Every structure is written in structure tokens, then in C-alpha cells.
Structure 1
Amino acid sequence: MLRHGYLFLPVYLEDIEQGSLKGIWMIDDPSQNPDIVFYFAHGGGFSMGSAYFYLEFLLVTLKLLCSKFSNPAIFAVEYSLAPEKCFPSQVEEALAGYNYLLTSKCVSPSRICIAGDSAGGTIMLSLLLRLARPNGGGRVPRELNGEARTISAESNKPGMAFLISPWTTLVSPAHRDTESDYLDAFRLHVFAHGYVGRSGSVYDPVASPGICKDVDWWRRAAPLKGFAISYGSEEVLACDIRDLVELLHGCGVRVVVDEDDGGIHAWHVAGLFLGSTKESRIKGIKSMVDRIAGVMLDA
């Protein structure tokens, strides 16, 4: 941890590396089983960032989860970046991470909240679609570290999904620059093509989940307690996010929506850098944790 600038951490943290899987595991009390796991994929246009870049976000999230749950844990997957690795590598690695939680950590899938911001949200939506159709509908291979069979059953749905400003559709005519948001529609599309690579397609429904209009597929893909989706009203991706919410509602899937009036892309994360007070810096994360607790603890 010294190389990342941390002399001491108030929680147990472990670097995980098993075959193609890399990530960070952190838990309040490692001697006890977790009662919730926040399984996170970071944003960054598929080509930037890392789990460690989000470490402050993750530590604050874990601390706030401790006020809602007995022994929360976080697993942040360190997926390969484009263009060195292209789709479906990132989805394979997210699947490996999910499988790791079920098998190595013996976590009940109902206790898992999958989560991601921006491109990380895309990867987690892709993960859900792959869990629903493990042997078809996209280019992800059937086998994953020889253990794909352990994550293919309907009974292995996660408890819920919390998505922060998910990049639902890789390339969309609805992507238009706004005066407030820092995202650039043209640059988004460059990143999108870099993600799928020369042999892929931005119109693959697993790579670009917003393109999937298959009602049965989404019903099968939906977590046990549905989705919570949070985004800013002024972000470039807002229109596509609203379209996905409408689609999920039409499928009969439970969706809780938090649209921040005047908010920008991934404001929960951006607030850590832009907030001028402690309260403003963690406002977005606190609202996220409150929402997760409300959904996961709802009998």
C-alpha cells in the first residue's frame, strides 16, 4: 500500500490475483462472513483508471456501509484496459470476479450488490446479460477459467445493481454535449470503438446493453431486487439512461431512479474531488449507500 500513498488503512485490504482475475478485496472484519458485498467496476472510458484510483471512493463507501450492515465487504475488479485488451475481455474478467465471490469467498449471490460508474456500469450491465444467457447472445466464450458452469444458473442472480451514470449505449445519436457536463460525445465514441476493437461491433447488445430490447432477456438478467440508477440531469448520457429505465419498467423490472437536477456525469465520484466541505464531498456516496441499504434490507 505504500506505493499508493497509504501508510495505514482502517480496514482489511487484500490484492487478489488469480489467473486473469485481479482486484481489491476489503472487508470490515475478515474473521467473519460479509452480510453484503459491493462488487464494483470503475469508470474511465474502458481505457483509463484503476481500482486503486477509486480507493478513496471505495473506503468511504465501506465506512458508510458499516453504519447499515454488520460486516460489509467490497470487491473492486481490476479489469484490463482498452485498446490493449478489447471486449469481451472486460466482461470475462467481471464474470471471473463474480465467480470468485461465489466460490472462493462463498458469498450468497443474494448478498451481492453489483455496481459501477460510467463504463464500469456498462460492464456490469453486460455481466447481467451474460449471466442470463451464458451460452449465447454475444461473443463471451462459454468457459471462464474452467468454472463458467458455476455462474450460469437462474438462482445465482445478484441481490441488486446500483449504477452510477451508466454508459448504456456505446454509440448513440442521443449523445450530445451539454453546457454543464465534462463529457464529450465525440470522445465517447472514440473510446467506444477502441473498446470493441476492429473485430467487434458497437451494436453488439452485450457490449452495448442499451441496444438490447429483448424483454425476456432483461427479465432474466434483472437482479433479485432490481436496479437503482443514479445520474445527473445535465450529463451527456442522460437521455440513454432514461431510455433504459423506461425499457426496464416496461419489462416489469423494479427500478429506483435518482436523477440529480443539474447534476453532471458520475457526480457521486466527482464530488470527492470538487466538494469544498466533507459533507459535500461524500454527499453522493452517502445517497448511494442509503439507497443500497433501503433496497437490500427491504424484506
Structure 2
Amino acid sequence: MLNAETAAALPQRGSWRSRGAAALSGLTLRQLSLVIPPGRQWGLWTSRQIVARLMDTFGPSLAGTRVEPVDVRTPDGHRVKGEWVWGAGVPRDTSRAIYFVHGSGYVLCSTRTHRRLVSWLSRLTGVGVFSIDYRLAPRHRFPTAADDVRHGWDWLTGHCGIAPDRIVLAGDSAGGHLGVDLLLQPDVRHPAGVVLMSPLVDLTFTLARSRERTRPDPTMRSHHAIRLVDLYCTGTESAHPRLTLDVAGGRPLPPTLIQAGEAEMLAADAIALAEDLRAAGGRAHLQLWPDQVHVFQALPRLIPEAVPAMRVVAAFVTDVLADNAVEQAG
């Protein structure tokens, strides 16, 4: 997996730019989240616009990126919508892939908002990325997003013919929950590895609230995040096994890299997930980046630590794909 030099690369403190960005977020984004009602159409539209502008303004460059939209029906009638993304200089090779599941609280984002991050991931790894454009709440409630992620996986491994062990699953925030849910299904063949950035695991936000009491999240408060997630989960008991994921008692998952910002409330989810993955017999490498906010990797023009963090991600992807290639050859 990660060599000792890479694993030891975390700084003791965040840069002054990242600490300044966190402080500014507390004065702007967190305050806006208190007055914008996500349950109202205008509030939802406003929230989506704010996130999209942030990702575009502070995300990595799209220069040289090639995007191929996908909108197909599977033989059993399921729609798969998303896009292939190849970063600058990456050949169009579909013998291996990264399957990317974006975050958004099931409500806010899309393949477009995450295209810059996905393109950067492709460029750093030299691997094409298929980014699934699952349907969003409140129009589409549970389990629509989870089903769309499953159909995308089946299309990638079935129609596209890519062996699961030649794929790395990656996701951020709610995409982490959707990815783990997929891999816990007993009939899903596992990928070579998993990369999760600021994963959301506990949809009740009990873990997040416990951390919030000692260190408030600079960008969002738990009660606002719950309002977003409730737009997806309304009408379903929180104890549903595809919402409250039994990671510790489930299948051992593939080697997993988890990165989160130490300043965010979902750091508690990242810690709990790593512990549960190990309890189930899997290998989990957890990195809590000091003073960083939620999915800081997507904002390299604002947060310098995004660059070394993504280098760790790229090294992990390269390692797990290479390890599987060696096992096959042996």
C-alpha cells in the first residue's frame, strides 16, 4: 500500500492559507447555511450555485481534459448516466478505470461540479475515470442514488468489460456512503482498492455532533447537513441497513485510503469508518490533515495541502492496481 515515506508526509499544522480559508468559511459559508433553506426551491438552487462557483473558482485546471458523456440503457432497462474523464495526457484506455461517486449530501453536486477534481485524479494516476451522475434529492429519494451507483458499477464491469480488480472506487462525502454501501452488497465483486475523501458514514450525524461540540466545523453545522440528507432519506427509517451501514459486521472491504480534514465534523466519521473496516478484517489507512476543511482536495487554488494529499491518493491508486496486476501474473 503506502510506503513509510508517503505515510509520514502529513504536516503538523495547516498552512496559513488553509487556516485563513477555514476562518473565512466560518464567517461566510457557515453563516449562509443558517439562512438558506435547502427545502425551498430557491434555497436549493442558491446552495447548488454556491458550491458550483467554489469548485470552479478554486478547483484544478481543466486544460487538456477530454470528457465523453454517457447516457445509456442497460439490457435490463436501467439508465446509466455519467461521463468518462481523461486528464491531460492520459490515453483513452478502458482496460482499467477509477469509478468516481461524487458527494453532495445527495442533493447539491453533479459530475460537472466534480469534473475538475476528477480530471486531476485522472492526470495524476494516468487512469481514465468514469464519474456517475446519480439522480439527486429531493426529486429522487432513497434508494435512487444507491441504485444508480449500483447500475453504474454493473455497466462498468459488465458492458464495458473492465475486471473489478482493475478498478479503484473513489468518492467524497456522501459519495463515500454510497460507495461503501455498494461494496457491502454480497453479490458485488470488489475493486482493487477504495479512496474516500471526507466520507459521510453516519447519516444521523451523531458522530459529527460529538466532534462538533469540541471543535465546530468551519463550513457547516450538523443540523444544516441533516436537513440536506433528510431530503434524500425522508420516509425511510434511519436503521435501514442501506442507510445505517454495518461495516464492522459486513464483508471485509478492499484496501482503503481515507482522507479527511481534521477541522471538519466528518473527521469523526472517517475515524469510525477506519476502525470498522479493520474490525471487519480489511486494511484501512487513515489520514487526518491538520486544519483542513471538508473535501479540501478539490480546492488546490485555495488550499496548498490539496496537492500533497492528491499525490498520496495517486500513489495509493497506482499501488493497488499494480499489486493486483502482479497477483494476476503470478
TM score, norm. by length of structure 1: 0.78
Provide closer, same or farther for how the CA distance between residues 292 and 203 of structure 1 changes in structure 2, counting only shifts above 3 A. same
Partner of 1:192: 229
Does 1:231 find its partner at 2:233? no
Select 2:102's aligned residue among 42, 63, 86.
Answer: 42
Which residue does the alignment assign to 1:172? Answer: 205
C-alpha displacement of 1:288: 1.5
Q: Which residue of structure 1 lines up, in the alignment, with residue 322 of structure 2?
A: 297
Identity %: 23
Q: Kindly state the Cα deviation for residue 290 of structure 1 after the two structures are TM-superposed.
A: 1.9
Q: Determine the structure 2 residue equivalent to 1:125.
A: 180
1:71-90 alignment runs, 5 A limit: 72-90=127-145
Question: CA–CA distance in 2 between the matches of 1:281 and 1:239?
Answer: 20
- Does the 8 Å contact 2:248/2:280 carry over to 1? no
Q: 1:265 to 1:281 in 2, by over 3 A?
A: closer
Contact 2:104 2:174 in 1 (8 A): yes
Does structure 1 retain, via aligned residues, the 8 Å contact 2:99–2:129?
Answer: yes
The corresponding residue for 1:149 is none
- Distance of 2:251 and 2:288 partners within structure 1: 22
8 Å Cα contact 2:262/2:288 also seen in 1:
yes
More contact order relative to length (CA 8 Å, sep ≥ 6)? 2
Residue aligning to 1:147: none
Residue 255 of structure 1: how far off its partner (Å): 0.8
Match of 1:15 in 2: 69
Measure how far apart 1:208 and its partner are.
Answer: 3.3
Q: How does 1:128-277 map to 2 (within 5 A)?
A: 128-130=183-185, 132=186, 152=187, 156-176=189-209, 177=212, 178-198=215-235, 200-209=236-245, 212=246, 215=249, 217-219=250-252, 222-223=253-254, 226-269=255-298, 271-275=299-303
User: Once the two structures are superposed, what CA deviation does each residue of 1:47-99 show, in whole Å capped at 9, x if it has no partner?
Assistant: 00111111111111111112xxxxx2100000111111011111111011111
Q: Distance in 2 between matches of 1:9 and 1:90?
A: 30
**Count of residue pairs the alignment pairs up:** 252
Aligned-partner Cα distance in 2 for 1:232–1:122: 17
Please say if residues 11 and 29 of structure 1, whose CA atoms lie closer than 8 Å, have aligned partners that are also in contact. Answer: no
Q: Letter of the aligned partner of 2:67 in structure 1?
A: L
What residue ranges of structure 1 are gaps of 5+ in the alignment?
A: 67-71, 133-151
SS at match of 2:99: strand
In structure 2, relative to structure 1, the CA distance for the partners of 1:111 and 1:182 (3 Å cut) is: same
Q: Cα distance 1:54–1:21, how it changes in 2: closer, same or farther (>3 A)?
A: same
- TM-score, with length taken from structure 2: 0.71
CA distance in 2, matches of 1:98, 1:260: 30
Correspondent of 2:147 among 92, 103, 106 = 92
The equivalent of 1:288 in structure 2 is: 313
Q: Is the 8 A contact 2:216 2:265 kept in 1?
A: no
Q: Counterparts of 1:56-67 in structure 2 under 5 Å?
A: 56-66=116-126
Aligned letter for 1:29?
Answer: P
Superposed CA RMSD: 2.1
- The match for 1:148 is none
- Residues in 2 aligned to 1:123 and 1:227: alpha-carbon distance in whole angstroms: 15
* Kept in 1: contact 2:68–2:83 (CA 8 A): yes
Using the alignment, how far apart are the partners of 1:201 and 1:15 within structure 2?
35
Deviation at 1:29?
A: 2.5
1:132-175: CA deviations, max 9, x gaps?
A: 2xxxxxxxxxxxxxxxxxxx36xx21111110010011013222
